[in-house]
Amino acid sequence: MSDEFSLRNRLSSTVVKELTVGLTGLMLVLFVGAHLAGNILIYAGPASYNAYAAKLQAMGPLLWFMRLGLLAAFVTHIGMAINLDIVNRQARANRYAVNTYLGRKTVATRTMLASGIIIFLFVLVHLYDFALSDKTGPASIVPGANNNQSLGLFGLVWNSFRDPVRVLFYVTASCAVGFHLSHAVASVWVTVGVLRDEDTPVADLVARLLGLAVAVGFSSIPIYVFVQIHFFGGGPT
Amino acid sequence: MSEKTMNLTLKVWRQEGPHVKGRFETYAAENISPDMSFLEMLDVVNTRLEQAGEEPIAFDSDCREGICGTCGAVVNGRAHGPLSATTLCQVHMRHFNDGDTIVIEPFRAEAFPIVKDLVVDRSALDRIISAGGYISVRTGEAPEAHAVPVSKRAAEEAMDAAACIGCGACVAACPNASASLFTAAKIIQLAKLPQGNIERRRRAIAMIQQMDKEGFGSCSKHYQCEAACPKGIKVSFITAMKSEYFKALVSKD
Ligand code: HEM
Ligand code: FES
């Protein structure tokens, strides 16, 4: 067998790099779905929300295993996507003077890197906001609720969205994720080699609905808390 | 001459050679018959340029019947011009309006170096074919037709893929200058039929490796190639090509 057929060469093809972006992307989609399902419990009040958080914590080593897997998928996804983006830019170094865009796909397709970068910046801020903050300290006390005792993670989240700038940032990021997915979840089936012609419209529709659900679902949480605080007297109901 | 003619302004990419800087030059294309093809219109402009002692615009063409894949330029931002599923040589001037300004650029890709003006070197596509787009097993004399069963779906897919004339419009239209659609058509055309089936694994790997080596980009699923292809080749062939590659990765032959 000649050298170009070595496993190393076969695995370093752009087709495999794309596959890596796609598969890690699908792992991230699973996480996003689970994350939304958990956090939507904010509407059920402090008890349910904190019980969900406690259940996660109780998973112990398994939780850490999942976190490491998620981190690996995230880093790989970004690394490979940027790597491909560099190759793609080099392949078309000379641009056209006139561009007529005829493809079926639109803005989300052309802004995958931009939406990805917004998501990345958001993840950093988001981890700092909640994962690394003290969940029982003063920041978790919602004034006037629970006899001014800590409301745990719920209290921390609640107080965070008193700030309109943070609300805006979270809504923007949630929309960026939805936008990213509205292209990604349609396109990934080509990447992994399973999409038939006749299924393309279904894939497009599913991706758009999923993107919309993710954008609306996540955005609703900071907006809900903000409206409760500033228009309905502050405390959780 | 027909009674009605048109006057157009052309903005054409002029570049003396591969390593010099190019620029747009403006030319008037006057008294053009709407019944002329786009390339005939360029012929007229070139004749006048020659008469004026200027260098004619270099462009490629051969059959002028839409079957050889030699012609091609990006016209107003579209590879092969304004009509879908049509090569540039088959576009007629009646699809433009009197007084239009038409911007004409070469197919742009790092893997397609400009030879001169609108002529680009597409031999990278030939090298992808040379890497594996053929059959090397001896198939002997043509067998009795019924002796080699081929399903209707496979036959149709192979024929659809074989419609590719290798013009390079997919590369020209892709924002990543990817040759995925071309390579996919050439791989699938052979993989679907019994004679090509034997070497399909080796072929998929070799041709995709060559595609990468030539400096084409990867597929981001913009579907621009499908929209530009004069032969209507579909992105689903790219999906099939990927599936071929992944199967080849884990197969032993
Ligand atoms: C919540 C986090 C994220 C999820 C769920 C996600 C999901 C996905 C999925 C499923 C794909 C489809 C791949 C394909 O078409 O085969 C994709 C593509 C892509 N992702 Fe992400 N992603 C996330 C974060 C990011 C980040 C942080 C970046 C970069 C900074 C990024 C950059 C990209 C790019 C550039 C592509 C397009 C690749 C291409 O067109 O070939 N993504 N993403
Ligand atoms: S010149 Fe042959 S296809 Fe246009």
**Where in the sequence is the domain holding B61, given as residue range(s)?**
6-115
Domain match, B209 and B91 both = no
pLDDT at residue A145 above 70? Answer: yes
Number of domains in chain B: 2
Q: How far apart are CA A177 and CA A31, in angstroms?
A: 12
Quick check: CB of B164 below 6 Å from ligand 2? no
**Considering every ligand atom, which ligand is closest to the CA of A218?**
1
Judged by CB atoms closer than 8 Å, whether chains meet at B224 and A101 is answered as yes
User: Ligand 2 centre from B91 Cα, in Å?
Assistant: 11
Domain match, B194 and B89 both = no
CATH number of the domain where residue B188 is located: 1.10.1060.10
DSSP conformational letter for A127 = I
Domain match, B58 and B131 both = no
Task: Determine, yes or no, domain membership for B137.
Answer: yes
**Domain extents in chain A:** 2-231
Q: Which of ligand 2's atoms lies nearest the C-alpha of B67?
A: 3
Q: Tell me how many degrees the CA angle B19-B170-A6 measures, rounded to the nearest 5.
A: 80
ipTM of this complex: 0.93
What pTM value is reported for the model? Answer: 0.94
Mention every residue, 6+ apart, whose C-beta is less than 8 A from residue A225: A42, A157, A158, A160, A161, A162, A167
Quick check: CB of B64 below 6 Å from ligand 2? yes
Domain match, B235 and B136 both = yes
Residue of B77, B205, B166, B221 whose CA lies nearest to A88: B221
3-state secondary structure of B178: strand
pLDDT at residue B95 above 90? Answer: yes
User: Ligand 1 centre from A163 Cα, in Å?
Assistant: 29
pLDDT at residue B188 above 80? Answer: yes
Q: Where are the beta strands (DSSP E) in chain B?
A: 6-14, 23-32, 74-75, 78-79, 101-105, 114-116, 119-120
Q: For chain B, give the percent of residues with pLDDT over 90.
A: 91
Task: Determine, yes or no, domain membership for B103.
Answer: yes
The interface residues of chain B toward chain A in range 32-71, judged by CB-CB distance below 8 A, are none
Q: How far apart are CA B205 and CA A95, in angstroms?
A: 30
Among the candidates B115, B134, B165, a domain finishes at B115
pLDDT tens figures, B213-243? 999 999 999 999 999 999 999 999 999 999 9
Q: Which of ligand 2's atoms lies nearest the C-alpha of B69?
A: 3
CATH class of domain segment(s) A2-231: mainly alpha
Considering only CB atoms, which chain A residues are within 8 Å of B221? 105, 109, 183, 186-187, 190-191
pLDDT tens figures, A206-235? 999 999 999 999 999 999 999 999 998 767
Task: Determine, yes or no, domain membership for B102.
Answer: yes
Q: Could you tell me the two tokens for A167? A: 């609300």
Quick check: CB of B89 below 6 Å from ligand 2? yes
Burial of B249 (0-12, 13-18, 19+ CB in 10 A): middle
pLDDT tens figures, B114-134? 999 999 999 999 999 999 999
Domain match, B153 and B48 both = no
* Chain B residue nearest residue A185, CA to CA: B221
Domain match, B155 and B197 both = yes
B179 touches chain A (CB under 8 A): no
Domain match, B111 and B127 both = no
DSSP conformational letter for B193 = S
Domain match, B78 and B172 both = no
Question: Using 50, 70 and 90 to split pLDDT, how confident is the model at A1?
Answer: very low
Domain match, B131 and B151 both = yes
